[in-house]
Structure 1
Amino acid sequence: MRRVLTLAGIAVLIGLLAMWWSGSFDRLAYWVAGQQRAFQNAIASALRAARAEQPGAVFALLSACFAYGLAHAAGPGHGKVLIGGYGMARGVPLLWLSLIALASSLGQAVTAVALVYTGVTLLNLGREAMVGVTEDIMAPVSYAAIALIGGWLVWRGLGHLRPVSAHDQEVAACASCGYAHGPTIAEVEKAGTLREALLLIAGIAVRPCTGALFVLIITWQMRIGALGVAGAFAMALGTAAVTIAVGLGAGTLRGGVLAGFAKSPRAAMLAAMVEILAGGIVVMLAVGLLFRAL
């Protein structure tokens, strides 16, 4: 069963790459944009009802914001590439990976709140100006940061390959000298540090959700700003649900790929190759998103 799941995961990965190169992601993005507009209309209606203090309006608004986050997360960005690549590349516990994904999404909401309230109170910026800052400056910065982190994963993998190769050449010597000539699979799969997690979160959180900007600005104008902040975080939770699912899927796929080689002397080499592959995919997709944003 595990082998079947692993093969299925590899097939999904190949399919995603094929969709990327064929332009299917662009068509998906257009469809997602249409869904987002529909959710924005629902959010606008819920905001008007909330301002009129209609019963159930707040719940309707938060539900619409959460649903918007789910739909918006299906489009490009929002850290899915980075979280999925990191989960595939590193032997990170799934709970820790889920917490990173959650913190990244919540970080986007924090960035949106900071940008909007700095813009409207200090700089007197309108919605178009703030969306422009997000799309023209913060989005490219986020994609560039993600590409750099992907390159770092590739570099780590290459660093693990060199001592692993030496280890394979000196297996006979190890039995007599008692020294380890390369990292073990457990060492290669060592959980990510707090610094790694903070870099991942920062790379994703620097780009706020445009839907959150929309809600925050409208509610500020309607003088119900607290409700807008709640809506922004409801969107972040919707985004987090998708991002966490991607990370868990990637981490599970990695575990399935490496499980059959757990006792192999080349297990550490395979883990390093998986890290290189995942980092390369992160770089490729992040650079593609960066070129689209420029």
Structure 2
Amino acid sequence: MRAAAIATLAALVALAGWLWLLGGADQVSRFATAAQRDVQNAMAGSLRALRAGETGALTNLWALCFAYGFVHAAGPGHGKLIIGGYGVAARVPALRLTGLALASSLAQAATAVILVYAAVWVLDWSRQQMTGLADDILAPLSYILIGAVGLWLFVRGVRHFRIQHDQHHHHDEICSTCGHAHGPTVEQAANVKGWRDALMVIGAVAIRPCTGALFLLILTWRLGIDWAGIVGAFVMGLGTASVTVFVALAAVGFRESTLSLIGHRGVARTLAMAEIVAGAIVVILATQFALRALV
């Protein structure tokens, strides 16, 4: 078990080092941008074929939607940041975190559908106005919300760390003086803190719709094949989820591998430190992304 934990941790650290120290993130970003452009062009061709009634055009369109969601999520994005940061900082079981990753991606698709049809039916907006709203307003707002989640994790980690430091008790021990536990047990820490946590994570991701989904929905609306675009937007969300679920599992693997090496008695303090560090990183990166979006 210890050897497996060390191997998992080493692999994840090596991946992080390649991404952030050796320029891997830039290479992935360039690949993702070029791939998105190619897939978007292919989607336009599939829409024309679907409009013409060609056999297999619908299946091809939805396959391209999934591919677009995948390559879109492979580049720098706020979904991976919030899911990964939350997964490292909070002892959320893998199944629940993957559920949050999936729900976030599908909620992002729902946001695109709501935005497009509210804009065309109620406001009579153009494509430029919709993409302008998504890129100029919703994108910075999403990063601000992600920064707020990071700040919340940081403050919660500080509070948990102070409890551990001030009381000098292990998190699952009972105080011999007062008869009460002064920190969460491992089992308690494994539970999502309720709907507030889930809604914060999902909302921070979902508030900014994918530009590719907007492109698809606007074109299918103009062509009179709305249902194909709506289904395609959610298929695109599943493609995005395929990456964010991987990030969720990697975050859980990193967290649990680290905790297994530390040992049972250090879990509570380590989780508190993880909340502090992950929260600070999320705040810093979200601030950078927000500033880039505003410039």
Q: TM-score, normalised by structure 1?
A: 0.92
- Note the aligned Cα RMSD (angstroms): 2.2
User: Residue type matched to 2:269 in 1?
Assistant: M
- Kindly indicate whether residue 133 of structure 2 is the aligned counterpart of residue 130 of structure 1: no
1:224-260, Cα deviation, whole Å (9 max, x unpaired): 1111111111111100110111011101110111123
Counterpart of 1:101 in structure 2 is 101
Shift of 1:79: 0.8
1:101-120, Cα deviation, whole Å (9 max, x unpaired): 11111111111111111111
| Cα contact 1:88–1:250 (8 A) shared by 2 | yes
- Kindly indicate whether residue 225 of structure 2 is the aligned counterpart of residue 232 of structure 1: no
Shift of 1:166: 2.3
- Counterpart CA distance in 2 for 1:201 and 1:177 is 39
Counterpart of 2:148 in structure 1 is 148
Q: Which piece of structure 1 moves more, 118-127 or 140-149?
A: 118-127
Q: 1:213 to 1:83 in 2, by over 3 A?
A: same
Counterpart of 2:117 in structure 1 is 117
1:151-177, Cα deviation, whole Å (9 max, x unpaired): 100111111001111232799994466
Counterpart of 1:4 in structure 2 is 7
Q: 1:121 to 1:182 in 2, by over 3 A?
A: closer
User: Residue type matched to 2:229 in 1?
Assistant: G
Shift of 1:27: 5.2
1:39-77, Cα deviation, whole Å (9 max, x unpaired): 011101111111111111100000001001001111222
| Cα contact 1:160–1:272 (8 A) shared by 2 | yes
> SS at the partner of 2:268?
helix
Counterpart of 1:207 in structure 2 is 208
Q: Which piece of structure 1 moves more, 159-168 or 201-210?
A: 159-168
1:262-285, Cα deviation, whole Å (9 max, x unpaired): 422x32111111111111221121
- Counterpart CA distance in 2 for 1:157 and 1:169 is 17
User: Residue type matched to 1:76 in 2?
Assistant: P
User: Residue type matched to 2:33 in 1?
Assistant: A
Question: Structure 1: where are the runs of 5+ without partners?
Answer: none
| Cα contact 2:46–2:58 (8 A) shared by 1 | yes
- Counterpart CA distance in 1 for 2:288 and 2:17 is 17
- Kindly indicate whether residue 216 of structure 2 is the aligned counterpart of residue 222 of structure 1: no
User: Residue type matched to 2:260 in 1?
Assistant: A
| Cα contact 1:102–1:237 (8 A) shared by 2 | yes
In the TM superposition, 1:17-56 aligns within 5 A as: 17-18=20-21, 25-26=25-26, 28-56=28-56
Counterpart of 2:256 in structure 1 is 255
Counterpart of 1:13 in structure 2 is 16
Shift of 1:14: 4.0
> SS at the partner of 1:79?
helix
Shift of 1:179: 3.8
Q: 1:135 to 1:26 in 2, by over 3 A?
A: farther
Question: Structure 2: where are the runs of 5+ without partners?
Answer: none
Counterpart of 2:288 in structure 1 is 288
In the TM superposition, 1:72-87 aligns within 5 A as: 72-87=72-87
* Identity, % of aligned positions: 46
Q: 1:180 to 1:204 in 2, by over 3 A?
A: same
Q: 1:73 to 1:211 in 2, by over 3 A?
A: same
- Counterpart CA distance in 1 for 2:8 and 2:145 is 32
Q: TM-score, normalised by structure 2?
A: 0.91
> SS at the partner of 2:208?
coil
| Cα contact 1:78–1:105 (8 A) shared by 2 | no
